[in-house]
Amino acid sequence: MRPGRTWAGSHTFGAERLARPRSVAEVQDLLATTERVRALGSRHSFTDIADTAGTLVSLDDLPREVLVDETARTVSVSAGTTYGQLAATLEEKGWALGAMASLPHIAVAGAVSTGTHGSGDGSRTLSAAVATLDVVGPDGTLRTLRRGEPDFAGSVVGLGALGVVTRLELDVEPSYLVSQTAYTGLTWTTLEEHFDDVTALGHSVSVFTSFDERELRQLWVKARADAPPVEAVIGTLPATRTLHMLDGAPEDAVTPQGGVPGPWLDRLPHFRTDVTPSRGAELQSEYLVPRDRALEALAGLRRTADAFRDLLQVCEIRTVAADDLWLSGAYGRDTVGLHFTWDLAIDEVREALAPMEEVLLPLGGRPHWGKVFRAGAAELAPLYPRFADFRTLRDRVDPDRRFGNGFLERTLGD
Ligand SMILES: Cc1cc2nc3c(=O)[nH]c(=O)nc-3n(C[C@H](O)[C@H](O)[C@H](O)COP(=O)(O)OP(=O)(O)OC[C@H]3O[C@@H](n4cnc5c(N)ncnc54)[C@H](O)[C@@H]3O)c2cc1C
């Protein structure tokens, strides 16, 4: 089978072939007998991160499993399952996830491997919900890693560098209701003076801007029905119609707004499961800055916005709670994600990212692993306290670099 392209068409895979094993045993056989191999999720990353010179392994044909352990409050899920599929089954059984990304279309193992996150002062990355990981190593051996065990915190955000994940257990909680309200009228002054109040407005809060100096474009608040009512934000008004965060994009692509409570899975993601999320023809970048440097980062971006504004479809500002996963963007610190949806123009975007990284990397901004960035191993190493430990773990698990590719050579240094 031909390996094809990323979801956005931003990268054409150079792999020799695409394999679709039907069982974990077939994954083990494949890995034991294949020289160069990498796992492929739902292709929603924007770069060559998943690519290989050898065989790409899709887990789409593995039997789907979604099994809730009500006592442990975990769900066992097969790696290729999408969050949309997982969420629908959880909701049927009366259970929920604590966080979701902006889109439900992504595969669980792919999202977890890149530190994917949603928004919320108390919401950690999707990776931080992982309690157990089944991974097939380069010799075909299947290992189960559990939270608290020595290699676990290094392996969850693993970038596909440590093996093929076949099954995960994730933390779950009883199902809950969420209402979503979009507001307009938020100004930069209000955001800067009341940043903590704004991001605390709900379970999940997103601010959208195109770096227009007059006002921020939109504020979206997703509030749990079991939490106190949302306070009004100075100067803002609830939108009187459904808003898409992108100019001219169809409003029926986003999850219901208007403050009407509904199941968590129909409100936490921005985009509905049954439609194309975002724009489609686009690139994305994101930098995860320490929360206590976020206002400096925003001031720096406003100063340098002329260098990137013309390529920008929208920027989303969101928060992520700290975790302990070595390569997580939120490792060891509460974090603010500064996300950029760009026109699909790779050379121009890479050029625009140069001055942006000059502002954000010195503030501790860690690039999202699944999106477009320029920094290489020399710039990334100081941003992650456990970077050297991850390299050591990789040397032990995959000394022959059977899971190696160009992306890992650039970002990990070999
Ligand atoms: C429209 C859109 C919206 C997005 N919104 C968000 C958002 O809200 N928040 C956010 O953080 N990110 C967001 N992203 C980025 C996206 O979540 C990440 O790029 C994520 O990795 C995509 O998962 P995937 O399954 O498509 O992974 P892929 O792109 O297929 O693969 C990514 C990496 O995971 C590895 N991998 C995949 N499966 C396995 C496996 N079974 N075992 C081991 N490694 C594996 C691959 O080898 C590769 O290194 C968005 C992307 C798009 C296109």
Residue 40 falls inside a structural domain: no
Strand 55-58 relative to strand 37-40: parallel, antiparallel, unpaired? parallel
Tens place of pLDDT per residue across the chain (414 aa): 778 999 999 999 999 999 999 999 999 999 999 999 999 999 999 999 999 999 999 999 999 999 999 999 999 999 999 999 999 999 999 999 999 999 999 999 999 999 999 999 999 999 999 999 999 999 999 999 999 999 999 999 999 999 999 999 999 999 999 999 999 999 999 999 999 999 999 999 999 999 987 889 999 999 999 888 877 788 899 999 999 999 888 898 999 999 999 999 999 999 998 888 777 889 999 999 999 999 999 999 999 999 999 999 999 999 999 999 999 999 999 999 999 999 999 999 999 999 999 999 999 999 999 999 999 999 999 999 999 999 999 999 999 999 999 999 999 998
In the block, tokens 């020799």 appear at: 16
| pLDDT of amino acid 34 | 95
Distance 44 CA to ligand 1 centre (A): 5
What count of Cα atoms within 13 Å lies in the side-chain half-sphere of residue 348? Answer: 12
Whether residue 310 sits in one domain with residue 202: yes
Residues with CB under 6 A from ligand 1: 7-8, 38-45, 49-50, 59, 79, 101-103, 106-107, 109-111, 113-114, 116-118, 159-160, 164-165, 277-278, 284, 368, 370
Residue nearest to atom 37 of ligand 1 (CA): 110
pLDDT at 352: 97
Q: For 7-83, where are the E strands, in sequence order?
A: 17-19, 37-40, 55-58, 66-69, 74-78
Same domain, 93 and 188: no
**Residue owning tokens 């010195």:** 362
Q: Are residues 157 and 187 both part of a single domain?
A: no
Q: How far is the CA of 116 from the centre of ligand 1 (A)?
A: 7
**Cα–ligand 1 centroid distance for 387 (angstroms):** 20
Looking at the fold, whether 169 and 211 belong to one and the same domain comes out as no
Q: Compute the distance from residue 50 Cα to the ligand 1 centre, in Å.
A: 9
Residue 337 lies in a domain: yes
The domain tally of the chain equals: 2
Kindly state whether residue 357 falls inside one of the protein's structural domains. Answer: yes
Q: For residue 215, what pLDDT is reported? A: 82
pLDDT of residue 86: 98
- The separation between CA 317 and the C-alpha centre of its own chain, rounded to angstroms, equals 14
Q: Which has the closest alpha carbon to 337: 44, 93, 120, 142?
A: 120
Which tokens in the block code for residue 314? 């929208």
pLDDT at 268: 97
**Ligand 1 mean position, distance from CA 242 (Å):** 27
- Examine the domain organization and report whether 103 and 190 are in the same domain: no
Domain residues for the domain of 311 are 177-377
Q: Is residue 31 part of a domain?
A: no
So what's the pLDDT on residue 228? 84
* Domain edge (last residue) among 175, 202, 217: 175
Atom of ligand 1 nearest to the CA of 278: 1
Q: Are residues 139 and 157 in the same domain?
A: yes
Atom of ligand 1 nearest to the CA of 280: 1
Q: What is residue 355's predicted lDDT score, i.e. its pLDDT?
A: 96
257 domain residue, yes or no: yes
List, as one string, the DSSP characters of 361-377. GGGTPEEPTTS-----H
- Return the residue whose CA atom lies nearest to atom 32 of ligand 1: 110
If asked whether residues 151 and 220 sit together in one domain, one would say: no
Whether 402 is covered by a domain: the verdict is no
Q: How far is the CA of 112 from the centre of ligand 1 (A)?
A: 7
* Span from the CA of 386 to the centroid of ligand 1 (angstroms): 22
CA distance 414 to 412: 6
Whether 140 and 239 share a structural domain: no
CATH code at position 90: 3.30.465.10
* Ligand 1 atom having least distance to the Cα of 117: 11
Q: What is the pLDDT of residue 193?
A: 95
**145 & 250 share domain:** no
Looking at residue 211, what is its pLDDT? 93
335 and 206 in a common domain: yes
Contact 334/121 with Cβ under 8 angstroms?
yes
- Assess contact for 231 and 221: CB atoms under 8 A: no
In a domain, 414, yes or no: no
Please identify, by atom number, the ligand 1 atom nearest to the C-alpha of residue 38.
47
CATH code (residue 325): 3.30.70.2520
Rounded to an integer, what distance in angstroms lies between the CA atom of residue 338 and that of residue 357? 12
Which 3 state secondary structure label does DSSP give 85?
helix
Q: How far is CA 246 from CA 37, 99, 101, 282, 313, in A?
A: 37, 23, 17, 12, 6
Of the residues 140, 175, 210, which one is the last residue of a structural domain?
A: 175
pLDDT in the model for residue 365: 98
For residue 279, the ligand 1 atom closest to its alpha carbon is 1
Q: Is residue 300 part of a domain?
A: yes
Per-position b or e across 287-309, b if 16+ CB within 10 A of its CB: bbbbbebbeebbebbeebbebbe
Q: Say yes or no: 163 and 221 in one domain.
A: no
Q: Domain check: are 262 and 191 in the same one?
A: yes
Give residue 239's pLDDT: 94
Contact by Cβ (8 Å): 365, 355: no
Supply the pLDDT for residue 235. Answer: 85
Last residue of one domain, picked from the residues 119, 153, 175: 175
